[in-house]
Amino acid sequence: IVQLPYYLPDWNTITKTDAEPRFQKVLLGTLGAEEFLDRTADALNKAQAEWDTRKN
């Protein structure tokens, strides 16, 4: 089971505001799946790094 990082302050922004519109573009064929995944992963990795910095 994958635990989603709901604890990240940017979680809703990344998943709703940023990723959902881009996913629609993937479905329409105007954005490649790899680019969508890379951009989403980059945003999540950045948010996790910021969270880790704040925690320590």
Read off the pLDDT of residues 7-54 as tens digits, 9 standing for 90 and up: 999 999 999 999 999 999 999 999 999 999 999 999 999 999 999 999
Residue 34's domain comprises 11-50
Examine residue 56 and state whether it is found in any structural domain, yes or no. Answer: no
Examine residue 21 and state whether it is found in any structural domain, yes or no. Answer: yes
Examine residue 31 and state whether it is found in any structural domain, yes or no. Answer: yes
Q: Is this model's pTM higher than 0.75 or not?
A: yes
> How many domains is the chain built from?
1
Residue 13 CB neighbour total at 10 angstroms? 13
For the record, the structure tokens of 52 come out as: 């880790």
Distance CA 14, CA 6 (A): 11
Examine residue 19 and state whether it is found in any structural domain, yes or no. Answer: yes
Examine residue 6 and state whether it is found in any structural domain, yes or no. Answer: no
**CA 10 from centre of chain:** 9
Pair 40, 14: CB distance under 8 Å: yes
Examine residue 33 and state whether it is found in any structural domain, yes or no. Answer: yes
Examine residue 1 and state whether it is found in any structural domain, yes or no. Answer: no
